[in-house]
Structure 1
Amino acid sequence: MNRPSVTAIPDFVALRAPLLPFDAFMQWGNDLQAAGAVSHPPSSRVAGAGPPGNPDEVAHSSSSASAATKSHLTSALAADRAALRSQLSRILEDPHASEALFVASPSMYERLETWRQDPESKQGRKAERSLTRYFARMTGRGTPFGLFASCGSGTIADQTCLPAPTMQNCSRRTRLDMEYLFQLAEELATVSELRTELRFFRNNTIYRAGGRLRYAESHLIGQSRSHRLVVVDETDYLVATLDHAADGARIADLAAPLVDDDISLDEAEAYVHQLIDSQLLVSELQPPITTYDPLGHLIDRLRPYPVAQDIVSRLEQVRNDLRQLDSSTEPNPPATYTAIADQLRQLPAPVQLSRLFQVDSIQESGDLTLGEEVADEILRGVEIARSMYRRMLDDLTDFRNEFLERYGDREVPLMEALDEESGIGFRKSPLPNVEAEPLLGGVILPMGMEADMTWTHQHTKLLGLYSKVIAEGKTVLELSDHDIAELKGKPDELPDAFTVKCSIAASSQEDINAGDYQILFGGAAGPSGARLLGRFAYADEDMNHFVQQHLRQEEALQPEAIFAEIVHLPEDRMGNVLCRPVLRNYEIPYLGQSGAPRDRQIEVTDLMVSIRNGRILLRSRRLNKEVIPRLTSAHNFLFRTLGVYQFLGALQHQGVEGWTAWNWGPIKYAPFLPRVTAGRTVLCRATWNLNARDVVDLQDRTAEDLFAYIQQWRSERRLPRYVLLVDRDNELPIDMENILSLETFIDAIKGKPEAQLVEMLPGPDALCVESDAGRHVHELVVPFHREREPDANRIPPVPAAEITVRQSHPPGSDWAWLNLFAGTTTVDRLLVDEIRPRIAGWSAGGQIDRWFFLRYDVPGWHLRLRLHGDPGALHQSVVPELNRLSAELIQRGLISRAQWDTYEPEANRYGGPEALPLAEQIFTADSDAALDLIATYGGDAGSEFRWKVVLLGLDRLLDDLGFDLNQKLIIARHSAEEFAREFSFEGPFRKQLSQKHREVGPELDRLLRGQRNDEPEIAPAVQIFANRASRVAGPVRQLQQLEQQERLVAPLAEIARSLWHMQVNRVLRTAHRAQELVLYDLIARQYESQLARLRPKPPKKKKARKQANA
């Protein structure tokens, strides 16, 4: 067998699997009657039940409640409920399952008896849905979680052997929750007798900027910790005290140097106490993030102090009790845990049983191996997935560009550069800081994550393959070598160390070793390859050895650089995920304590940043070496965290692929997505997307109606019996013929704007990890390191963007660019009163042949005018006239300044050099239309109509570009999703947008369907857009021809999205990106509604619902 072309070596394998087999979940649903009570019940065959598997083998039925009497179905469901409840109760009586449930949720364990006594009560039903979810989690998900699922490690060998976790080969490690330990450390540091004895250290977030000191201060709000940057004056006393605390010092030792003729010792000590209370100084009791034993650290720090001996004794007893709990060969009853909690209640910190214990289950099986041939096949999946990857602009690109503009080739302190006031910051807030716009009324915009997704030629080709599969009624897209070559992009390099998450589908492990298997490729991530496994290194010596060995392999490829582990704790409870041993020789602590020796800690204030050969370079001043930050944790460093942590985390991915997986791009919103395969590799599972209408349609039904409707719904959509409900990285098994599972599914999606179901793959007949109890689902985590020669002087190149050499049009050329700095409302006035008549005159006189304008808020709000014409005419008449106008406007106080600039067009964004002049003709027509709209819908009276006519203009522009309704929806939904990533598109925000659509949807529907064309408020806009359409028809035809000839650098659909962006910018006054998000979401919902009206209704659906409710 040929090795894959990607050169990487697998280092080891980790197996993650639930303790209970999936057979237990299936057996729970055996012998149910309800499916039989519905005539012609769907087949129970499972998609992907065995290799090669095929999701075509799914349910087929036209059944509904009309095929069975209500009484028959009611009786069947009652019998099913009784049987399911009895079996579930019996399962949860097992001591192992009982302990696992208690560890996961003590409160749920307490409600267990309530459910057993009265399952039909409101509380009983609520508990039942939770119990069903927990049981599905125990049997259907391999990601480690308490005692539900374990993690084990093994080697790469000739053959594959994947032993299932059992009670006999699994051990457990129980720790006190990090949240409790941090709260205890904080409370102990306030005990006056102890506080005077403790050593205190300088807060490691303190830095100097703008002549003052800044640091991160934390606040506990309820059970959540938040942080804010605080600014303090830099006094001699403060600097001296912080310097003395660099290596830790007692309060008395810190206060003594402050005493003089004017300051007494009491006053000096009070000042130090104030610094502690303000968190400028932190106590030695704070547990480190990088340690094997956080509780042991706290005990060791307290042991020297006589005043703390009672506390030490109690904590040592708790530690011993935890060890006994872990060493027990039998399941531990809840009383064992509550006894420990009772001991801890004698200490200052509050005790919550549900937030007191962190338990990890470790599979200690020495015969776990992954065959080299399978590892090669996994690597082929990486090769295929990355070949279709296209690098997008990212936050580091923005930072690099802003850094070069601000600092050039200088090297500056990292904290100076990241300071948002005096530096350039990192991932600044996208929230509008301008006056409210009518469109944003009632919409509270949260902070969020930016992303740059662009429609590529690969997406166009993929859309063709997808359409062919759907048209042929297939459910599997099988990629040929030709297809893969057609979809191939220009990927970044793989990281020097990365990990692949995958599963193997095979009837048995013998079949795997015989070559009869499939691999579900879940994605590749890095660097490093130990991100998912670092937190288990404390509990498993083998895992610790493998992880350390893997990291050394990565570091050996750049021996002259220092690899430094990022140590950060955004919230106390996140310490359970972030806590890990010291894994590297150096660490960068920031708002988190390091377990490394002091001389191995690199303070953020020691780091310098510069740009070298297009690459962001960190250097330690103390060590005079390049520093490469790494985070050996799965924590999402971009989500609601401080900018320094985000920057260090993002820097790991500079110039490499941080994540490689199958991505449908804008097609991912289709109602059904087929399974995608390439040889033995499954790149993507079959997926069913439920929109808001689907979700609502499943709610508020009687049990009989729900069950019958679901069976019909399965038949129409060809869903198998067992599917997975996906919510981000959580996957919950659902049995479509089990009423308790169905009701749990309906409850889980209630109130959500969308939901996603995926096929279970490997399917039940292809679960190759077996124990005596049955077949288990599983996940494999396989770390790789690149195979190449070390290069001490290697500077990884930053991939060049796919752009042509930029044209430059300085002042005096055929393009004139003038910036007029004015307020937001003044810009409207300037456009209508001053610019509009002059543009009309210059165009009629031939001085200009193309022009356009934009609004920008950096550096300061201003209007950008760009005009094209013969240089002679342009600079003899147009430019002098604009200079006179600028002087007059400054004198009148309408603008603060005027500035001529150099125009460097974004050729690639609009299709390349051939397409750019055509795009500029469209710019001209759109700018003229925008002037007419602003003049027509001016002032406060017109602002309410302005956003609506913009939405109409967006729709008409897609018509002008020749897109049909399906294509318009894809463009709109893609645009909405891109902006949703820029803002945190969470549940509450989605609800606000849904509410906004409910309020204005009917009005917009009439607007887009042309039913308001004759209304006096709308008729002018309709005529303006008709004029624009006639003017852009010629350039659009030429752009379409270029696309057909494959001479566009960007697809026409992507150009359309850029034209949308510019139209919104021109017509609306402020808060453009926020308004774009709302506009694109609204128009996408309108297109979905239009398509829904065109879609044929399923037969007999209305009649079935009536009968079910009869």
Structure 2
Amino acid sequence: MKIQLFQKAICRTPAFSPTDILADKWEELKRLIYDASPDFHTLIKDIPFHEIPLLAERAQLTIWKYFNRAKYRATPFGGFASVSIAEIADQQQTLIVQRNPISNYLTDWSEVDKAKDMFGTALSDTMELMTNSTLYRIGNELRYIRAQEGAVTLASVMTNKWISAVVDCCQEKITVNQLKTSMQQKLGCSKTAVQNLLLQLLDAEIIFSERTPNITGIDYFKRSGFGGNGAKMYRIDHRSVKAGKLDANQFRDLPAFFNFWRNVNKPFRSAAMTDFVIAFKNKFGDSMIPLALALDPEMGIGFAGLHETTWPLFKIKARANSGWTADAELNGVDSCDAAFRSFLINGMVEQNGIQLENFKQADLRHNDPFPNTFSAVMSYLDGLPLLETAGGATGNALLGRFTMIDPSFEAFGRELASIEQAANPDILFFDVAFSGEKAVDNVNRRLNVYNAELPLLAWSLSDEVLDLSDISVCIRNSEVILWSMKYHKRMMPRVSTAYNFGRSGFALFRFLCELQHEQLRTQLSFKLDELVPGCNRYPRVCYRGIVVSPAMWRIPEEFRNSQASADHTSLETLTRWMTNNEVGPYFKYGIHDQTLTFDTREPEDLRIFLKLLKVHGATPIIISEASVASVPVADDQGKMLNAQLILTYYHNDHLFQSVLPQLNPVMNIDEANAFLPGSMWIYYEIFCHPIRSDAIVVNEIAAVVIKAQHLIDKWFFIRYNTPSPHLRLRIKLKSPRGLRTIISLMEQIFKPALKAKKISDLQIRTYYPEQERYGFAGIDLVETMFWRDSEHVLHLLQHPLGRQDLQVQTVQWMDSIFNCLYPDVHQRMLLVKRLAGTFALEFEMSPLDFKSINSEYKTIRALHFPELTRSATQQALFELIENAIAKIGNFSFSEKLLSDLVHLHINRLFPDHQRQQETILYQYLLNHLRMKAARVASPSKW
């Protein structure tokens, strides 16, 4: 995977130069404050510079903060900073940008409700309509998401032929007049009746009109004609580049750092996505089902605990566990190998700075790929490039909001989208358009740079508008896969905005946002204070010529004591502490991009710093080293600017494997088959401790199936751990008339076990056959295989073997199972190698783990692996398997069936830790097959 630097970058520059003084910039600063805080501007607009000391202390502090921001902070905010597009070349040049930026004004998104109120509810015949994209059907019910009183609500309505007809007509954009004509032709409705129905459906948000706000595409306020007349405005400034280019040579070590950091830092998957995968597999298995069903709070599994009927649009507390955006979780103490942490701690003890390239890496362990495009936010520290943050699922995340201000930014975004698409030509990339927080939604406004879009509670101007009802989801090898039924393509969401989606409580939106990070290395920032927390001092960390973490210091508690003040004594104490700890000459204080820069040589800066410490709160105060105007960027008047660069890196490797449609039987929402208690199937859940489960199978379950064998057509059991350990016993009766006898027999046999506390509970449940999972083979045939295997396992449990003997016999059994499909040992070995690799990846097996398993295998190999002797039960099972393979006629389906049979056999055979047992047994089997292949290749040596 060759990571390359894209030959364009975003350059963000503060409004003023670090060399500017407030006396010269006071009037200009007031104009900037007017856009940022009109109320504060009213207080200071008539104040001349020399009267600032007469203002209240709080007002003086606010002025200092604004001026500090205008000189040092490059994050766009009103007129306080500007953006430019800079080219990158292999030569040292100073980038020259225009001094006076071009100001771009858009009506602020907080005015959106006023715009909607202005339009009212009147309908014109030329107005376009479109179905709410989140709408899906369950029987005669329509369910959909709507926004109501600051909350996202799962709404529903019983459908009828008129509502269904309107919804169907509005799947594609259609005018009111066209819809009226269609309804009149199809159902004989009068135009007045259609008009009244439309008003109701619009009010309920079942359909949207073109007056519904769009967060992407042509600006909604310009499109609708709303604005001006005192409306609040949103400002983004743009500076054109006059001369010069950025020097690519300064960043030549970054790709090597990204590879290094990937190798030592463990892959990350959010807890929410991990839970989703587990819950999905438990409920739906390998089925491909509608995404709406999966996330439905009643019929599905929801996402991230956000599956209540109504939930707030955003949750401030969600920031603490907001998926991949929680840097502390990604960069915490457990995120890297122990050897690397020891290397860091040793470097901190020496206090001479840490050079990461000196760490001697073991073999490559973590090789999850980088996204096709991603960003690196850079500044400079003492002339060296400083990596502030890096990563993201797409380079468009930090670019999107700027596409509204100049065509060059839109073209930039489309180039990045084209790189992603060209690398994955069989994937349907789509943007997710959602506005759920008016106070911060300005950052979500953007033009369309991807060809397709899923609008959530919004109008869409995209050429390809997607619907939730078209999207299906499945799990393949723990990977979450979306599939478009319309386009017959795998789908990948992209959210081309820097919005912190962890704030959102909208399950569908959160799911799509987190999904774009799945199976990719999207967090590449290096945070030493999070890797080794709790220290008072952190040295600078570099990788070759790149600073990846600046030196940092924890401010002692004495300086933020409520009794402390900015008097002369406190100032002297702080100055002495900074001198002793080698802080200076500049340092930053704050979090993320909300920072202030201080000059340790300026007493006024330190006095203000002491005042800020008093109101900091209880969290530790960390400051970091900084330098000023060391970036080779200046304005056209020769003044250096404290710029920040957003570089984009890319590669052209194919990342996302498509999914063949025929391998994914799709279960529709209304297709669920069920056997209720009282039908041909009776299903018991027997709750017991894993230690006790073998005895329950051998004694109680065996007694039931033997005594009732004249009533039973087939039966099988499996072990389960959710919600607590239990056995699932499923019995198919020859006739429902035997039900009463079975229930009575179960009560008679299990009552003593319940009294003796051998089991904690016994429940009768509805049986849902996995038709969607095994439909390709025939569910009746598969259930018969489960029966034969359960009988075989029961026999093994009744005649227990030692651990190693049981492992040997299981490996032989697995080999015989796969031999049914692949008699050739080399073909069999390829399949087993692939399956073993999946388990090894799941458990993040290290070279030491493989060595330990191989050593154990050598011990059991001495048992000589005798050929498997098939009992009558086993022979019946193998005949069923051979019949199924012949019926299926598809290697992929057959492989899936056999691997599932092996999985369930191990589940039945071992009382606990079955997944780990399966992992070990696949490694044993792989070694066993290698030996067999060696015998075939060189029989004389054996």
TM-score range, shorter chain: 0.5 to 0.7
Counterpart of 2:390 in structure 1: which amino acid?
A
Return the alpha-carbon distance in structure 2 between the equivalents of residues 393 and 202 of structure 1. 34
The residue number in structure 2 matching 1:620 is 484
Q: 2:500 aligns with which of 622, 631, 636?
A: 636
Please state how far the C-alpha of 1:213 moved relative to its aligned partner: 2.6
SS of the aligned residue for 2:104 comes to strand
Match of 1:747 among 604, 612, 618: 612
Please name the residue that 2:427 is paired with: 561
> How far did 1:786 drift?
0.6
Counterparts of 1:708 and 1:372, CA distance in 2: 44
Q: Is the 8 A contact 2:295 2:303 kept in 1?
A: yes
Aligned residue in 1 for 2:755 = 888
> Structure 1, residues 196-217: CA drift from partner, whole Å, max 9, x if none?
9854432222223476333222
Residue 757 of structure 1 corresponds to 622
Cross-structure match for 1:1108: none
Give the SS at the match of 1:390: coil
What is the CA distance between 1:766 and its match in structure 2? Answer: 3.1
CA drift at 1:20? 0.8
Q: Assess if the C-alpha contact under 8 Å between 2:7 and 2:89 holds in 1.
A: no
**Hey, what does 2:814 align to over in structure 1?**
none
What amino acid does structure 1 have at the position aligned with 2:217? T
Q: Following superposition of structure 1 onto structure 2, how do residues 463-482 of structure 1 map, counting pairs within 5 Å?
A: 463-472=341-350, 474=351, 476-481=353-358
Quote the Cα distance in structure 1 between the aligned partners of 2:93 and 2:659.
39
Q: How many residues align?
A: 697
Tell me whether 1:273 sits opposite 2:202 in the alignment.
no
Q: What letter is aligned with 1:213?
A: L
Is the aligned partner of 1:187 residue 2:121? no
Does residue 503 in structure 1 map to residue 379 in structure 2? Answer: yes
Sort the Cα spacing of 1:671 and 1:248 in 2 relative to 1 into closer, same or farther, 3 A. Answer: farther
Aligned residue number for residue 546 of structure 1 = 412
Partner of 1:177: 108
State how far apart, in whole Å, the 2-side matches of 1:819 and 1:357 are.
73
Q: Pick from 238, 254, 266 the counterpart of residue 390 of structure 1.
A: 266
Q: Deviations over 1:700-759 (max 9, x none)?
A: 535445423432443454432421112233222133444366436633761522144333
Aligned AA (1:528): T
3-state SS of paired residue (1:409): coil
* Mapped pair 1:201 → 2:130: yes
* 1:731 counterpart residue number: 595
Equivalent residues in 2 for 1:93-172 (5 A)? 93-94=27-28, 97-113=29-45, 124-168=56-100, 170-172=101-103
Between the aligned partners of 1:913 and 1:487, the Cα distance in structure 2 is 13
Q: Which residue matches 2:391?
A: 525
Deviation at residue 663 of structure 1 after TM alignment: 3.4
Query: Equivalents in 1 of 2:265, 2:756: separation in Å?
Result: 50
Match status 1:232 vs 2:168:
no
Distance 1:792 1:885, change over 3 A: closer
Partner of 2:645: 780
Matched position secondary structure for 2:95: coil
Alignment of 1:972-1051 (within 5 A): none
1:15 equivalenced with 2:11 (yes/no) = yes
> Quick one: structure 1 residues 374 and 413, their matched pair in 2 at CA, closer, same or farther if it must change by over 3 Å?
same
TM-score normalized by structure 1?
0.56
Distance 1:446 1:255, change over 3 A: farther
Contact kept? 1:637, 1:646, Cα under 8 Å: yes
Aligned amino acid, residue 685 of structure 1:
P
Provide closer, same or farther for how the CA distance between residues 368 and 591 of structure 1 changes in structure 2, counting only shifts above 3 A.
farther
Shift of 1:782: 1.4
Q: Deviations over 1:584-634 (max 9, x none)?
A: 22112222222213xx11111111112235432212111112222212221
* 1:886–1:549 CA distance, 2 compared to 1 (3 A): same
Q: Secondary structure at the match of 2:79?
A: strand
Distance 1:199 1:790, change over 3 A: closer
The CA deviation at 1:429 is 4.8
2-structure distance, mates of 1:171, 1:260: 55
Question: Match of 1:688?
Answer: 553
Taking the TM superposition and a 5 Å limit, the aligned residue runs for 1:959-974 are none
| Residue in structure 2 matched with residue 982 of structure 1 by the alignment | none
Q: Summarize the Cα distance change of 1:635–1:374 in structure 2 as closer, same or farther, 3 Å threshold.
A: same
For 1:171, the aligned partner's letter is I
- Inter-partner Cα distance in structure 1 for 2:125 and 2:617: 53
Paired residue type of 1:670: C
CA displacement 1:510-569 (0-9 Å, x = unmatched):
xxxxxxx52212232133222211221232233322222222122111112222122121
Residue in structure 2 matched with residue 603 of structure 1 by the alignment: 467
SS in 2 for 1:726: strand
- Contact kept? 2:689, 2:726, Cα under 8 Å: no
Q: Secondary structure at the match of 1:522?
A: strand
Distance in 2 (CA, whole Å) between partners of 1:373 and 1:447 is 38
In the alignment, residue 400 of structure 2 is paired with which amino acid?
G
Aligned CA distance change for structure 1 residues 251 and 751 (closer, same or farther; 3 Å)? farther
- Aligned CA distance change for structure 1 residues 541 and 694 (closer, same or farther; 3 Å): farther
CA 1:765–1:567 in 2, change beyond 3 Å: closer, same or farther? closer
| Paired amino acid for 1:12 | K
Distance 1:445 1:782 in 2: 29
Residue matched to 1:1045: none
Distance 2:9 2:645 in 1: 7
Deviation string 1:183-204 (CA, Å, 9 cap, x unpaired) is 2332023265x67985443222
Match of 2:543 among 672, 678, 688: 678
SS in 2 for 1:669: coil
Equivalent position amino acid for 1:93 in 2: E
Hey, what's the Cα distance between the residues in 2 that align with 1:18 and 1:174? 18
Q: Percent identity?
A: 19
For residue 422 of structure 1, report the CA deviation from its aligned partner.
1.0
Tell me, yes or no, if structure 1 residue 571 matches structure 2 residue 437: yes
Give the whole-Å Cα distance in 2 for the aligned partners of 1:9 and 1:765: 24
The change in CA–CA distance for 1:125 and 1:212 in structure 2 (over 3 A counts) is farther
CA distance in 1, matches of 2:695, 2:494: 43
| DSSP 3-state at the match of 2:504 | coil
Q: Out of 441, 457, 461, which is 2:339 matched to?
A: 461
2:430–2:494 contact (8 Å) kept in structure 1:
yes
Out of 12, 25, 28, which is 1:91 matched to? 25
Distance 1:907 1:613 in 2: 13
Q: Name which of structure 1's ranges 632-641 and 258-267 shifts more when overlaid on structure 2.
A: 258-267
Take 1:709 and 1:653, find their aligned partners in 2: how far apart are those partners?
A: 47
Q: State the AA in 2 paired with 1:287.
A: P
Contact 1:199 1:250 in 2 (8 A): yes
| Aligned residue type for 1:190 | G
Q: Write the letter of the residue equivalent to 1:185.
A: A
Q: Deviations over 1:257-308 (max 9, x none)?
A: 5999999987775554333333333331123222243333113xxxxxxxxx
TM-score by length of 2: 0.65
User: Is residue 720–residue 759 contact of structure 1 (8 Å, CA) maintained in 2?
Assistant: no
Look up the match of 1:359.
235
Closer, same or farther: CA 210–859 of 1 in aligned 2, 3 Å? farther
How far apart, CA to CA, are the structure 2 residues paired with 1:112 and 1:131?
A: 9
Distance 1:248 1:811, change over 3 A: closer
Who is 2:322 aligned against? 449
Read off the aligned partner of 1:358 and give its amino acid letter.
Answer: Y
The residue number in structure 1 matching 2:276 is 399
Tell me the secondary structure at the aligned position of residue 503 of structure 2: coil
Cα offset, 1:767, TM superposition:
3.9
Change (3 A) 1:261 1:398: closer
Cα RMSD between the aligned structures? 4.6
What amino acid is aligned across from residue 888 of structure 1 in structure 2? K
8 Å CA contact 1:567–1:588 kept in 2: the answer is: yes
- Aligned residue in 1 for 2:213: 287
702 and 202 in structure 1: CA distance in 2 versus 1, 3 angstrom threshold: same
Deviations 1:4-23 (A, max 9, x none): x8433424222111121122
